[in-house]
Copies of this chain bind each other. A is one copy, B any other.
Amino acid sequence: MTTTTKIETRYPDCDRMGIVHHAVYPVWYEMARMDFFSELGFSFEDMNKLGVNPAMVDLHLQYKAPATYPQTLYITVRGGEYAPKKLELLYETKTEDGTVINTCRSFHIWTGPDNRSYNLEENLPEIYSKIRAACE
């Protein structure tokens, strides 16, 4: 499963050099990640109701080319490594002509209502099998 999120850059995303500031990408990747989880059948509202959260533990970005304003971009997300308590996601940001300008890998630990590590396979087996299906 791969999802695609359309991004329209915003004026204040650009710094004084006229290019999108590097701290904007994590916000975009979060939006794309939310779309991925919704498509998978485990939306933010679902997580919120259950008190379950994919806590960010590792975020790795590679800046390959600049973006500017105004510009339309597309972010693809796909699942990477997964286990009952953790999940890796892989991202690409592309321009309209398909040039990759940024790539990202995020790594998450599932946390439960007590804010501690949470075994998704044991506690939410249906959702865990959706993740398994999405990552294969």
Contact = CB atoms under 8 A, between A and B. Distances in A.
Nearest to A56: B22
Interface in A34-65: 34, 44-45, 53, 55-64
Contacts of A27: 10, 12, 23
A63 B57 contact: yes
Contacts of A55: 63
A27 B22 CA distance: 9
Interface stretch (A13-21, A72-80, A86-94, A122-130): A13-21
Interface of A: 10-12, 14-18, 21-23, 26-27, 30-31, 34, 44-45, 53, 55-64, 69-70
Contacts of A15: 11-12, 14-16
Nearest to A59: B61
Nearest to A34: B11
State the 9 A-B residue pairs at the shortest beta-carbon distance, nearest first. Answer: A23-B26, A16-B18, A60-B60, A22-B56, A14-B16, A12-B21, A59-B61, A23-B27, A56-B63
A51 to B, nearest CB: 10
A15 to B, nearest CB: 6
Given A11-B31, A11-B44, A45-B70, 12 more contacts: A10-B27, A12-B15, A12-B27, A22-B56, A22-B59, A23-B26, A23-B27, A44-B70, A58-B60, A59-B60, A59-B61, A60-B61
